[in-house]
Structure 1
């Protein structure tokens, strides 16, 4: 059941019923009091002139009888006074209402010696009339006195007034109920429905919807409190989402670290097994190349054999570095020095390729706790990859500081990295370069160094049109991240 209906049924209806009962009782009491007053006045007047009339009848003095009857009309609203004998015959009378009682009624009053009063209607007039016996001093009945009085306006319309009062009360109660219903609907039900609408939309997933703070003070405060609760929930959801993302990232880093560790164990075993054969192959190729009996073509082939052997040795060494647990020796170093060193290492290649390098460092003199040599290697590798992806184009290196962390991005305007390859770029041996031009270990080394420093690295689509790498490192040494 609706709240307004409950209020009407449990509060207003009983209240109106009580008021109606009290009103009817009050009207009835007023009517009874008026009738009682009318009756008492008529009986007092009748008894007041009855004594003198009894004496006049006993002395048989018509003048005294007439004078006493005339005296009755000095009272308010006395419209008739008559004297009858014991047989019901009129002796003398004045005014209206002579025929209100039958002769039999008059004879019974004279015989019993008891008065008789009644409301009577005659010729469209309403009267209250009383009959009292007239006796001698010895108690012998000599006649009957009849006194008539017209009802007053309120006496005639007491019933009508009651009906009108009930109708007025009914219409007034209806108006009050409608007014209360309208006020309840406008100032209570509508604000509640608005709040319910907000809760339903939030329940369906629209967490950004908020209540409008208008209406009575209580509902404004309730709307503000609801909005505050929703804002707090949104903040908690955002915090939970950020933590989940961080946990997912940590889990990815853990899996990759575990993979690299397993690969390092495998590489260490492989290095021990193929180290000696590689040394023999390299030594024999070097001895053959020193002989004067071979031509230049054979000597060039032997040099290529030695170069490939060196390449295999470097790959095995990188694999061992990937899987090895490193204790990074950190020191305070300037970001500007690291970037400048990496730029100098690639300066000749940038000039040859005619590639423009854009540096955007918000605080070049900012310091961080890190291994400067390893971070220089990271920046150099990222810039070198961008240079190979965008020869003759643009490379942008940007650094920002936020919440105690360094955010470093390297972007290019090259062809970019397909979405299918973004999740594999940090895997060992994954490369899109032709065979012999890359081992696929450069970004794996970058990932390992960043992890050793307690940071993270990711790949994204650059606004320049190519690929971008986002590097995050703590500015201060953190044992927890270590």
Structure 2
């Protein structure tokens, strides 16, 4: 059952019933009181003149009888007075209502010896008529007195008043119910329906819904509480989603690290096996180049062989480094010093191709507990790749501390990395450079070094328009970062 109907059934209906019963009882009590008063007045008048009439009948004095009857009319609204003998025959009478009782009614009063009274109607007039036996001082009933009193206005209209009262009560009750129904619908039901609609839409998945802050104070408080609960749920959902994304990313990086470790072990085994043959090839080519019987063209080809062998040796050395387990010896280092050392290693190439490196670090520069030589190699590899991607372009190295982590970004304004290649850039031997210009092991080395230090590395699209690499470490100083100072 709806709340509105419950209130009507359990509160309004019992209240109206109580009021109706009370009103009817009050009207009935008023009617009974008026009738009782009317009867008492007639009985008092009847007894008052009945004594004198009894003496007049005993002495048979018509003048006294007439005088006593005339005295009855001095009372208010007495319209008739009659004296009958014991057989019901009229002896003397004045006024209206003689025919209200017949002879049998009068004889019955004589036989009973007790007064009686009744409401009677005659010629559209309503009377209350009392019949009183007239006794002599000796107790003999010599006749019956009939006194007729005309009903007053309120006596005539008590029934009508009752009907009018019931009708007015019914109309008033209907009006009250209508007003309560309208007020309930406007101030209770509609706000509840709005809140219910918001909750239903939230249940279906629309977590952006919020309740309107309007209506009575209680509903405003309820709306504020509901909105606060939804905001808290949204915050929790966002936090859970962020944690899930972070866990997925960590899981991806863990699989990547495991994959790289397996590839590194395989590559190291292959490099070890081909290391000796490469040494033999290089030595034999060197001996052939020393012979005087060969021409310059053959000697140039042998030099090309030795050059390619040396490149293979470098790749083999990188492969062995990739698969080797490292015990990182760490020390406290200043980030700006590590970046400056990497820029110094690339200084000649930077000047040659006209590229610029922008360094934007917090002040003071963050400190890291790392292997300085290996981290310098990381920055060197990343900036070298940026130089090759866009000779003469712009490189930016920045850092900031967020939520207890140090985030270092190396970005360029080159062509960037395609979405399909982002998940493969750290795989060994994967490269987007032309054949002969890269081994595809530089970023694998970067990933291995950062992983050895307990950090993470990822790739993203730089705001400069090219590729960006983000290195993440646990921050040693969790204080908020200050404004970056471009170099």
TM-score, normalised to structure 1's length? Answer: 0.93
Determine if contact 1:111/1:141 at 8 Å carries over to the other structure. no
Deviation at 1:138, TM superposition (A): 3.3
Which residue of the partner structure matches residue 483 of structure 2?
none
Task: Please name the residue that 1:318 is paired with.
Answer: 318
Separation (CA, whole Å) in 1 of partners of 2:108 and 2:392: 142
* Shift in Å, 1:417: 1.6
Larger RCO (alpha carbons 8 Å, 6+ apart): 2
C-alpha distance 265-357 of structure 1, shift in aligned 2 (>3 A): closer
- CA shift, 1:240, in A, is 1.4
SS at match of 1:396: strand
**Cα 1:16/1:324, change in 2 over 3 Å:** farther
8 Å contact from structure 1 (residues 84, 145) kept in 2: yes
Runs of 4+ in 1 over 4 A off after TM superposition: none
Which residue does 1:108 correspond to in 2? 108
Secondary structure at 2:120's aligned position in 1? strand
CA 362–226 in structure 1, closer or farther in 2 if over 3 Å, else same: same
The aligned counterpart of 1:243 is 243
Residue 342 of structure 2 contacts residue 379 of structure 2 at CA under 8 Å; is this kept in 1?
Answer: yes
Give the Cα–Cα distance (whole angstroms) in 2 for the partners of residues 373 and 149 of structure 1: 131
User: Does the C-alpha gap of structure 1 residues 134 and 393 become closer, same or farther in structure 2, counting only changes over 3 Å?
Assistant: same
Q: Distance in 1 between matches of 2:397 and 2:269?
A: 39
- Tell me how far 1:452 sits from its aligned partner: 2.0
| In 2: Cα distance, 1:40 partner to 1:340 partner | 125
Assess, with a 3 A threshold, how the Cα gap between structure 1 residues 125 and 371 changes in structure 2: closer, same or farther.
same
CA distance in 2, matches of 1:330, 1:209: 52
Contact 1:335 1:364 in 2 (8 A): no
Aligned pairs for 1:296-445 within 5 A: 296-363=296-363, 365-445=365-445
Could you say what secondary structure the match of 2:282 adopts? helix
CA distance in 2, matches of 1:466, 1:201: 43
**Structure 2 unpaired stretches of 5+:** 479-487
Instruction: Identify which range, 292-301 or 168-177, moves more after superposition.
Output: 292-301
Q: Offset of 1:112 from its aligned partner? A: 4.1
C-alpha contact (below 8 Å) 1:411/1:466 kept by paired residues: yes
Corresponding residue of 1:187: 187
Cα separation, 1, equivalents of 2:451 and 2:154: 104
CA distance in 1, matches of 2:138, 2:439: 154
Q: Which residue of 2 is the match for residue 283 of structure 1?
A: 283
Report the CA distance between 1:32 and its aligned residue: 1.8
**Aligned 8 A contact 2:268 2:322 in 1:** no
Range with bigger deviation, 49-58 or 454-463: 454-463
1:160-202 Cα offsets, whole Å, 9 max, x none, are 1111111121122212222222222222222222221221222
Instruction: Tell me if structure 2 keeps the 8 A contact 1:120–1:126.
Output: yes
**1:50-61 equivalence runs, <5 A:** 50-61=50-61
- Structural mapping, 1:463-478, within 5 Å: 463-476=463-476
- Please, which runs of 5 or more residues in structure 1 have no aligned partner? none
Q: How does 1:215-254 map to 2 (within 5 A)?
A: 215-254=215-254
Q: How far off is 1:52 after superposition?
A: 1.2
Q: Match for residue 117 of structure 2?
A: 117
1:274 has 2:274 as partner: yes
Shift of 1:5: 1.1
Query: Cα RMSD (Å) of the superposition?
Result: 2.1
1:211 aligns with 2:219: no
What is the SS of the residue equivalent to 2:434?
Answer: coil
- Closer, same or farther: CA 279–126 of 1 in aligned 2, 3 Å: same
Shift of 1:439: 0.9
8 Å contact 1:459–1:468 — kept in the other structure?
yes
Please tell me whether the aligned partners of residues 342 and 377 of structure 1 are also in contact (alpha carbons under 8 angstroms).
yes
| Displacement after TM superposition at 1:364 (Å) | 5.3
Q: Structure 1 residues 88-97 or 379-388, which shifts more?
A: 88-97
DSSP 3-state at the match of 1:469: strand
Answer yes or no: is 1:143 the counterpart of 2:123.
Answer: no
Q: CA deviation at 1:58?
A: 1.0
Match of residue 40 from structure 1: 40
Separation in 2 of the partners of 1:224 and 1:23? 46
Q: Contact (CA 8 Å) 2:263, 2:428: kept in 1 or not?
A: no
Shift of 1:135: 2.3
Measure, in 1, the Cα distance between the counterparts of 2:382 and 2:458: 12
For the 8 Å contact 2:271–2:319, the answer to whether it is kept is: no
SS of aligned partner of 1:459: strand
- The Cα offsets for residues 47-83 of structure 1, whole Å up to 9 and x where unpaired, read as 2211111111111222322332233233333222222
Change (3 A) 1:465 1:189: same
Tell me which moved more, 124-133 or 100-109: 100-109
Q: Which residue of 1 aligns with 2:292?
A: 292
